[in-house]
Amino acid sequence: MSRKLLIALGAVSVIVMAGVASAGIVAYNSCGYDEETGNYLFEGKEYAHGTMDSAMECAMQGMLPDVVASRLGMWGSAETKEEADQINLMDELKKEEQNQAKE
């Protein structure tokens, strides 16, 4: 009986680990912004805007939606606008890099 229990626990552990791993892959491959509205989706809630950090994370993957890129740095200091320009440049470079890899 204990052998069957160990096998069952092992099988459950493998299933749980596979689920966690696949959730991590999905989270890594998604940006967090809605493509159409630019709203930020986090832990099941929808926000009108994300943060500069969340935009940078998307830009580093080349996944920053155009609607977000166009409004990034719209308000704020010159430093904020410079940071927004750097994020947009990073996104453009990553997108170009991905396009070249496909060719």
| pLDDT greater at residue 5 or residue 100 | 100
Burial string for 11-50 (b: 16+ CB within 10 Å, else e) reads eeeeeeeeeeeeeeeeeeeebbbeeeebbbeeeeeeeeeb
Higher pLDDT, 54 or 24: 54
The model's pLDDT over 30-88, given as tens digits with 9 standing for 90+, comes to 789 998 999 999 898 999 989 999 999 999 999 999 999 999 999 989 999 999 999 99
Q: How confident is the model at residue 17 (pLDDT cuts 50, 70, 90)?
A: low
In tens, the pLDDT along 2-11 reads 777 556 555 5
Q: State the Cα–Cα distance between residues 64 and 52, nearest whole angstrom.
A: 11
Q: Where are the domains of the chain?
A: 1-30, 32-102
